[in-house]
Amino acid sequence: MAKIFDLPESEEERNFEEQMSDLGVTVEKAGKKTAHVLSDWLKPGNAGGQHIYDMSVRKNHIAIKPKWAQKIAGNKTKMKLTFRIVRFEGKTALLFKESNLGFSTKKPPIENRAWHMSVSPALKAEFEKYGVSYGHYKISIVKDGYLATLEG
């Protein structure tokens, strides 16, 4: 009877995939791993988390990305910043502005590099006293200068 319908003599002659295909079932092979896309294609400049924050506050220095340093300093090659520690949306943040009596920084010799300033022992003590966290900050323009809020 199998010869009339052109079927194999027994089901054992066909493999599992053929049997399931006849039933309309799609078979996925075990061992294949699936990746879920989480980001857009990364290009130089945004790979590895580079350039996604505006300011970095560390134990011994503060670094301001070139985009913001140029906004603050304009065409000058040096600037002085004064800081005020504030509470913003329940978190400690830094309010800062240009001032003749502020902490000094200057434009780096290599273009498109962050402007660095040393954190004095007195400033470090104030940061610790008011709970300023070390890490990456986003900068916003506010009425009295600039507001730096911790990311994350």
Over residues 36-48, the mean pLDDT reads 49
Q: How far apart are CA 136 and CA 53, in angstroms?
A: 6
> C-alpha angle 123/129/132, rounded to 5°?
75
Q: 0.85 exceeded by the pTM?
A: no
Tens digit of each residue's pLDDT (9 = 90 or more) over 100-118: 888 888 888 888 888 999 9
pLDDT digits (tens, 9 = 90+) for 74-93: 888 899 998 888 888 888 88
Q: Where are the domains of the chain?
A: 51-150
Q: Which long-range contacts (CB under 8 A, 24 or more apart) does 72-79 make?
A: 72/98, 72/146, 73/98, 73/107, 73/115, 76/107, 77/106, 77/107, 78/104, 78/105, 78/106, 78/107, 79/104, 79/105, 79/106, 79/115
Return phi, psi of residue 130, to 5°: -100, 5
Question: What per-residue string of b and e applies to 52-71 under the rule 16 or more CB within 10 Å gives b?
Answer: ebbbbbeeeebbbbeebbee
Quick one: average pLDDT of 125-149? 90
